[in-house]
Structures are given as structure tokens and as C-alpha cells.
Amino acid sequence: MLFALLERIADYGPPRNPEQFKPLGNGIFEIKAIGARLFCFYDAASHDVIILTHGWKKGPQREQNQQIKRAESLKEAYLSQKAGS
């Protein structure tokens, strides 16, 4: 299910259904499939490129907040690395 959703996103862009693709704030988005979550953001240079930070198995809200912070940290690291090269 998750791979099919990623292929669909690659072909047609992110779903408009907030149950499958939802903004979480600070430019971080969540791709949702049954029991799995992927965090991502758009590349600043091209709004057509989505960078996946990491995925995790759905768990408690407290853990989700930690995963969102991790995604934000990975986004910052990506952007600073990209700016440095």
C-alpha cells in the first residue's frame, strides 16, 4: 500500500486527501498509509521535488511529536548541506 502511494505521488503529485498527505507545520508533511507514516518536505528550489526524511510505524501522539521534531531537524540539515555545496 505504501509503495503504491509513493508511486502515485511520483506520477501525479501529492494526494489532495488530507488523510493521505497532511501538513504538520514548519513545512513538514506526513504521508499516511495503513500503520505507517513518512515525513517529508518540499525542496525550496523546486516545489516539484519532495524530500522524504524518514518513516515510522504509527504510535502514541507523544512519539509522533518526537518524530516531527526529527523531521524538522533533518530538513534543517538538508537545507544547510545544500546551501554549503
Q: List the pLDDT tens digit at each of the 85 positions of the chain.
A: 788 889 999 999 898 998 899 999 999 999 998 889 999 999 978 778 999 999 999 878 788 899 999 999 999 999 999 888 6
Query: In which domain, by residue range, is 7 found?
Result: 2-84
pLDDT given at position 7: 93
Q: Are strands 21-25 and 50-57 parallel, antiparallel or unpaired?
A: unpaired
Number of structural domains found in the chain: 1
Q: Which residues contact 32 (CB under 8 A, 6 or more apart)?
A: 19, 20, 21, 22
Any idea what the CATH number is for the domain that residue 26 is in? 3.30.2310
Distances (CA, A) of 66 to 13, 29, 39: 27, 14, 12
